[in-house]
Chains A and B, each alone.
Chain A
C-alpha cells in the first residue's frame, strides 16, 4: 500500500528470547541427547536462518520416554485433583509471565506475525491451562460418572501451525485428568515445546509427567505404535490421521484425531458487508491460512458477488506482508519450503483448471518462504482448489442462489471441521447452522477460539472434541 502515511518498521525486540545453539530431548525431567545421537536443524521460515540444532528422537528414546511417563503415572494420577490443579495454575501463570518471550520465539520458529502470537496464540495457551486447571478437582461433576479414571500414558503428536497452542490443547486436559504425556512437536517448530519443558521444571512438575520428543514422522509413528501408550491424540493432516487410525486399530488405545478441513464461509445478501469482509480475511489469512478450520471456501450469494469481491479486493490491498517480528505485519511467512511448494502446486492447478487468480500488489521478501494472499474467482465444486485443503493463504470463491444450495455446497466435501454464516437475520443463522455438518459453526465471526468451547470435526476432519467439558472425555476411561 503506497501511502503518504508509511508505517516505519516497528520490530519487536528479539533480545527477549535466548535461543540456545542446541536442545536435547526432554525425558523424565531432564534434557538428554538422542540415543543414536541424531540431530536436526530448525530454521526461521522468514529468513531461512538456522535457529538451533535439536536432538531427534528415535525408537529407543520413545521407549525411554514412555517408560518415564508410565513410572510417573502412578503418583500423578493418585494426587488429589486440587494438587494437580496447582501445578496447572502455576504453569498457566508462568506462561503469562513469559508470554512476550514465548511470542517472539514462536514467531521466529513458525513465521507467523508477532501480532498473532502476542494477541491470539499466547493468551489462548494460558487460558487453556487456566481452564483445565479449574476442572482438575471437579471431574466427578463433569458428567462422566462419580469417579472418572485417567487412561494412563498419552502419546500426542501435534502440528506446526499453532505449536504452543496445540501443545496446550493436548497437555492441559491430559494432566488435569491425571494422565502423563509424551508429546512430539512438529519437526519445523520444536522450540516452543522445548521452552515449555523448561516451564514444567520451573513449575516443579514431577519428573516424567511431561516428556517432549522432537522428531519427524517416524518418531510420531513409533510413539503412536508403542504398546505401552494408552491414549493417542493427533492433530495434523488427514492422510497421516488415517495411517494412525490403521496403526491403532485392534488395540485398546483410545484415539482422537483432529485433521484437515475445507471450511465454507457463507455470505448471504443481507450480511453486514464490512464485517463479513473482515471475517473472510480473518478466516483465510489468519496464520497465512495454515489453519485446519480456515474458511478456505467463500460461498457468496450471487446477487452480491461483485460488490463483495470489490470490497474484499480493496481490503486485501491493505494487508501488510513481511517481517513477522514487525508489529504491523498482517501476513507472515509460510512455515516451510515443503508447505510453500504444496501451496504453489495447488494454486498452479487452480489456474490450469480455469479459475481466475488474483493477488494484491505486494512485495515478497528475497529470502524465506512466502506466498502472497491469493483469491480465486470462477471456482466451481469441480475444481481441485474447491475440494483439497490447500493450507495456505488461498481463498476459493464460489456462488450460490438459495440457502438450500448454500448448505448443499458447504456440506459437499469429505471434510467437516468449520463453517461460517454471515447474515443479519437471526432465524436464518439458526436454520442454516442446524443443517451444516461441521464441528464448529461461527455466525457473523470466524476463527474465534475459547478454551470453554469444544472443537473438532465431522467426517474426514476427525473425531473427538478438544476444549470445554467435552474435551475431558478423550482423557478419561469412560
Chain B
C-alpha cells in the first residue's frame, strides 16, 4: 500500500511551479457533469447492505468516526465525556470498536488528549481560524502550532475560499503548504474545502487536486457550519480525485465527509461509495473518516439491533 509522503517530487511536482501552471492544470482537469455525478451517487445509494455486510459496515463506520464537538459552549467536562465515549462507544459491549478520533477546537486539545490517553483514539483539532478562515496567515499558523504543541495528532484546516473563488489558486496552495509545514512530521493534515461555498462540482474537483498537490493527508468536504455539507455526490467526486491522484503520483490521500451524516443508512451509503469508487484500500480509518457527532449513536443502536434482533431506543446509548 502506498504511503503518504509530504509534497515530494512526484509526477505532478512541476504543476505548482507558478500561478499560471497551477491555473492551467486545474482548469485542464476533466469537467464534471452534475446530472451524471448525482445520478451515479444516487444509484450507488440503492445498494442493499444486509446481514454480515451490514455488521461489517457498521463496525467499520464506527471506527471511522471523528467524534466532533465544535461549539462555543464546549467545556472540559463536555470534551472529557466525548473522549470517554470515543474510547468505549458502547459501555455494554466492549467488542465495539473505538472511534478514529475526537475532533475539538485547539484550546481543548490538551483536555481531549488526556481523555483518550492510552487508547487508539486520535485527537484532531480544527485550526486556521475555523470555520471562516478569515484571519491573517500568521494567526492561522499560530493556531496550528498551538494545537500541535498541545498534542494534536491531526489538524483540520480550512482553505481560504475567498482566495479560491477569486482565482488566486497559488495563494490557497501556499497557505496549505505553510500549514503543512507547521504541522511538522507528527500531525496529519486534513484540508477542508467548504464545498457548500465552492458551490460547483468543477470547483470541488479543482480544490481536491489543489489540496493534494499541496500535501494534504486528507481532503475534507466541509466544516458542518454552512447549509450544504457532505453529500453523496461531492464525496463521490472527491473519492474519484484521490483515486486518480494515486494513479498518477503513487500517493494515497484520505477523504473525510463531514456534516449532515446522521444515520447508519447514510454512513453505509458513503462506505459503498468508497468501496466502488476508490476501492478497498480506502476502507480503513487511516484513509476514510466521518466528521460527525450524532451519527455515532445511530450506529450504536443499529449495532445493538443487529446483535439482539430488536431496537433498544435512545436510553440505551449514552448522551454526550
- With a 10 A CB-CB cut-off, give which of B39, B47, B48, B271 has the most chain A CB atoms: B48
A residues near B280, Cβ cutoff 8 Å: 3-5
List the 8 shortest-distance A-B pairs measured between CB atoms, nearest first: A275-B36, A10-B48, A327-B48, A424-B31, A275-B33, A272-B33, A8-B53, A273-B30
CA–CA, A328 and B268, complex, Å = 14
Q: Which residue of A lies closest to B42 (CB)?
A: A119
Interface contact A5-B46, CB-CB below 8 Å: no
Contact with A along B205-219 (1 / 0, CB 8 A): 000000000000000
Chain A neighbourhood of B52, CB < 8 A: 6, 8
In the bound complex, what is the Cα–Cα distance between A10 and B50 (angstroms)?
6
Say yes or no: is B181 at the interface (Cβ < 8 Å to chain A).
no
Neighbouring B residues of A274 by C-beta, 8 Å: 30, 32, 36-37, 40, 240
* Interface-centre pick from B31, B51, B279 (highest chain A CB count, 10 A): B31
A444 touches B271 (CB 8 A): no
The reply to whether A5 and B37 contact each other, CB–CB distance below 8 Å, is no
Q: Are A4 and B283 in contact (CB under 8 A)?
A: yes
The answer to whether A7 touches B47 (Cβ under 8 A) is: yes
Which residue on B lies nearest to A10, using beta carbons?
A: B48
A318 near B: Cβ within 8 Å?
Answer: yes
Chain A's nearest CB lies how many Å from the CB of B208? Answer: 13
Cα distance, A271 to B51, chains bound together (Å): 40
* Residue of A whose beta carbon sits closest to that of B40: A278
Beyond A8-B49, A272-B36, A274-B30, 8 additional pairs, beta carbon < 8 A: A3-B283, A4-B56, A5-B271, A5-B272, A7-B47, A271-B30, A272-B33, A424-B33
Contacts of B57 in A (CB 8 A): 5
Flag A275-290 by CB within 8 Å of B: 1 or 0 each.
1001100000000000
Give the one of A6, A272, A279 with max B CB within 10 A.
A272
Give min CB distance, A377 to chain B, whole Å. 20
Q: Flag whether A115 is at the interface (Cβ < 8 A).
A: yes
Interface of B is mostly: helix
Q: Assuming A5-B275, A273-B30, is B36 touching A327 (CB within 8 A)? A: no
B320 touches A (CB below 8 Å): no
Q: How far is the CB of B294 from chain A (nearest CB, A)?
A: 24
A96 within 8 A of B: no
Any chain B CB within 8 A of the CB of A351?
Answer: no
> A272 near B39 (CB under 8 angstroms)?
no
Q: Could you tell me if A3 and B33 are in contact, using CB atoms closer than 8 angstroms?
A: no
Whether A8 lies near B51 (C-beta < 8 A) is yes
Q: Does A348 sit within 8 A of B, measured CB to CB?
A: no
Q: How far is the CA of A119 from the CA of B42 in the complex (A)?
A: 12
28 residue pairs from A and B, CB less than 8 Å apart: A4-B56, A5-B53, A5-B60, A5-B271, A5-B275, A5-B280, A5-B283, A6-B53, A7-B47, A7-B48, A7-B50, A7-B53, A8-B52, A8-B53, A10-B48, A270-B31, A271-B31, A272-B30, A272-B33, A272-B36, A274-B30, A274-B37, A274-B240, A275-B37, A318-B276, A424-B33, A444-B36, A445-B35
Contact yes or no, A3 B30, CB < 8 A: no
A interface, over-half SS: loop
* C-alpha spacing A269/B272, complex, angstroms: 29
- Provide the residues of chain A in CB contact with B39, threshold 8 Å: 278
Size category of the binding interface on chain B: 20 to 34
Residue pair B275, A3 in contact (C-beta under 8 Å): yes
What string of 1s and 0s marks CB contacts (under 8 Å) between A5-45 and chain B?
A: 11111100000000000000000000000000000000000
Chain A hits for B286, CB < 8 A? none
Residue from A5, A115, A272 having most chain B Cβ neighbours under 10 A: A5
Q: Report the separation of the CA atoms of residues A119 and B45 in the bound assembly, to the nearest whole angstrom.
A: 13
For the complex, give the distance between the alpha carbons of A9 and B50 in Å.
7
Report the Cα distance A92→B178, complex, angstroms. Answer: 62
Q: A5-B283, A7-B53, A8-B53 are in contact. Are A275 and B32 (CB under 8 A)?
A: yes
Smallest CB–CB gap between A428 and chain B, Å?
13
Closest to A446 in B: B36
The chain B residue with its CB closest to the CB of A2 is: B280
Partner pick for A278 among B36, B49, B53, CB 8 A cutoff: B36
**B residues 224-274 touching A (CB-CB < 8 Å):** 240, 271-272
B54: chain A residues at CB < 8 Å are: 8
Closest to A272 in B: B33
Q: How far is the CA of A220 from the CA of B50 in the complex (A)?
A: 45
CA of A345 to CA of B114, assembled, Å: 70
CB distance from A385 to the nearest CB of B (A): 27
Task: Report how far A279 CA is from B40 CA in the complex, Å.
Answer: 10
- Verify A7–B30 contact, CB threshold 8 A: no
Query: How many angstroms from the CA of A273 to the CA of B33 in the assembled complex?
Result: 9
CA distance A327 to B33 in the complex (A): 27
